[in-house]
């Protein structure tokens, strides 16, 4: 298995508050890893340290075996140029979509390709249409985001990230802002991506998705990984009381027998 993301001894503090207290994690090519944890446990922060939306306070991140940044008397040093380049290789999808309102759906999916990767417009448009096809929205290419449903917006956001040909995709509670009846279409798209072999790191409260799609589930608690393993094991027969309490809090989740 090729290793895509490697995180070693990751710490992150905001002022006096230490949110991540030493995380070690590797994600292999084609793997879908789901991060669970209660609110404030540091899930988003962990995800945002992978693509350096937040700069780690300590520890190292590597992509494809290449260390991000350079070591400099004990600490790490990052150059903005290097981080921009890194982010083109890591797709991120947000809870609130964050589509560009002044561009059409097609424009949204082309933007990064043209402005950042320097692809020609026809090439970017081709690619954008392929990705929209992939998320089932080929017919919405000319619409503006304001005219789309939440589920459609989120699928456009996924297409926008995919168009950059990322090595790994990060999803941060991408269904939490959706009406319940729209959650399914987004989860279906994500499942399809996983089956196509995309490497994914997913923060979600959808335990059904974790159970059926994840290769591995991690349970984050107060900034450390408290438990991890195959979903069938971790979700059905957790070792820690914390994890058990967390699962009981999700009464909507019914495990198939």
Partner 1 sequence: MQHTWDFATIFQNWEVLWVGLKGTVVMFLVTVVLGLSGGLVVGMGRYAQNSALRWPATAFVEIFRNTPVLVQIIWFYYAFPILTGIEVNPFLAAVLGISLNTMAFSAEIYRAGIQSIEPGQWEAGKAIGMTYGQTLRRIIMPVAIKRILPALTNRGIEVFKMSTLASVVAYVETLNQAKLIADLNFNPIESYTAVALIFFVVLYPVVQATYALERTLRKSD
Q: Does 82 bind partner 1 (CB under 8 A)?
A: no
Q: Does 16 bind ligand ATP (CB under 6 A)?
A: no
Q: Does 204 bind Mg ion (CB under 5 A)?
A: no
Is the Cβ of residue 39 or residue 241 nearer to Mg ion in the bound state? 39
State both tokens at 226: 């408290």
Residue range at the interface with ligand ATP (CB under 6 A); choices 37-45, 185-193, 237-245, 246-254: 37-45
DSSP string, 75-113: EEE--HHHHHHHHHTEEEE-TT----TTS-HHHHHHHHH
Q: Which residue is nearest to Mg ion (CB)?
A: 44
Cβ 102 to partner 1 shortest distance, Å: 5
Interface of this chain with partner 1, residues 93 to 122, rule: CB under 8 A: 94, 96, 98-102, 111-112, 115-117
Q: Does 38 bind partner 1 (CB under 8 A)?
A: no
Q: Does 44 bind Mg ion (CB under 5 A)?
A: yes
- Cβ pair 132, 106 in contact under 8 A: yes
Q: Does 145 bind partner 1 (CB under 8 A)?
A: no
Per partner kind, with CB cut-offs from 5 to 8 A, the member of ligand ATP, Mg ion, partner 1, none near residue 98 is: partner 1
Q: Which residues contact 108 (CB under 8 A, 6 or more apart)?
A: 99, 100, 145, 156, 160
Is the Cβ of residue 113 or residue 154 nearer to Mg ion in the bound state? 154
- Cβ pair 144, 104 in contact under 8 A: yes
Q: Encode 216-231: b = buried (16+ Cβ within 10 Å), e = exposed.
A: bbbbbbebebbbbeeb
Residue length, the chain?
257
Is the Cβ of residue 38 or residue 114 nearer to partner 1 in the bound state? 114
Q: Does 42 bind ligand ATP (CB under 6 A)?
A: yes
Is the Cβ of residue 105 or residue 220 nearer to Mg ion in the bound state? 220
User: From the CB of residue 110, how many other CB atoms can be counted at a distance below 10 Å?
Assistant: 25
Using the structure block, give the residue that is written with the tokens 């417009």: 121
Residue 176: left if φ>0, alpha if ψ -120 to 50, beta else—which one? alpha
State both tokens at 26: 């590797």
Contact residues toward partner 1 (CB under 8 A) are 51, 53, 80, 84-88, 91-92, 94, 96, 98-102, 111-112, 115-117, 160-161, 164
């Amino acid at each position: 298995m090729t290793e895509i993301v490697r995180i070693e001894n990751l710490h992150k503090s905001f002022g006096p508050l230490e949110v991540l207290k030493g995380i070690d994690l590797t994600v292999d090519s084609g793997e879908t890893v789901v991060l669970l944890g209660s609110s404030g446990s540091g899930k988003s922060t962990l995800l945002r340290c992978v693509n350096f939306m937040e700069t780690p306070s300590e520890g190292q991140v590597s992509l494809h075996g290449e260390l991000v940044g350079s070591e400099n008397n004990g600490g790490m040093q990052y150059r903005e140029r290097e981080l921009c380049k890194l982010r083109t290789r890591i797709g991120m999808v947000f809870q609130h979509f964050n589509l560009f309102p002044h561009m059409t759906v097609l424009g949204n999916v082309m933007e990064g390709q043209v402005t950042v990767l320097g692809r020609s417009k026809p090439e970017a448009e081709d690619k954008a249409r392929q990705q929209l096809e992939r998320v089932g929205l080929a017919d919405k290419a000319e619409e503006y985001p304001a005219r789309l449903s939440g589920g459609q917006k989120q699928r456009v956001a996924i297409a926008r990230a995919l168009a950059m040909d990322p090595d790994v995709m990060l999803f941060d509670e991408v269904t939490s802002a959706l009406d319940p009846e729209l959650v399914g279409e987004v989860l279906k798209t994500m499942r399809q991506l996983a089956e196509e072999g995309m490497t994914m790191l997913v923060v979600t409260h959808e335990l059904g998705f974790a159970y059926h799609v994840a290769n591995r589930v991690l349970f984050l608690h107060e900034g450390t990984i408290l438990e991890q393993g195959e979903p069938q094991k971790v979700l059905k027969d957790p070792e820690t009381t914390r994890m058990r309490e967390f699962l009981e809090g999700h009464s909507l989740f019914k495990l198939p027998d």
